[in-house]
Structure 1
């Protein structure tokens, strides 16, 4: 990779992560959350914000310790080794697919 290639800044990373969370979390799921939580929608969003804060903090700490452009795939590779991260990703994808089947 060339030395002068563009890199994603901290502000860009935060904007990208926020955009994904807002797009997927708020606009796509707010109706389902309201239906499930009823009058506790604000508490549900507060709980979600706390969980996201811990998750974001761990990504920031990991990115500082192991800078790379691979994102979550590199974290899985470092945590489980180069041969096992594919299995973890497939297992997570299968779990998500299975959990979404009950919403039909």
Structure 2
């Protein structure tokens, strides 16, 4: 199975970067509820977070099957307790 990831800016997050991750989730397009998250606090970049979701899709047949489409949603904020400043959405398709 091949997994195709849409375009995104690979920016640095967490561990001293300007923006920190608040929450990440894998969602079906058009839905709000997620299918679960990954441990994103130790990830240093958006690419690393996306890579963890791709690995999850490759090993879990209930999510990663041909024709499945998802979005990786990453919420970012500046301060540890601050409000969400920006949400990054990255499309993923399984073929």
Q: Same fold (TM over 0.5)?
A: no
**Larger-gyration structure (1/2):** 1
Q: Which has the higher helix share?
A: 1
Tell which has more relative contact order, 1 or 2 (C-alpha 8 A, sep 6+). Answer: 2
Question: Normalising to structure 1: TM-score of the pair?
Answer: 0.28
Question: Normalising to structure 2: TM-score of the pair?
Answer: 0.30
Q: Which has the higher strand share?
A: 2
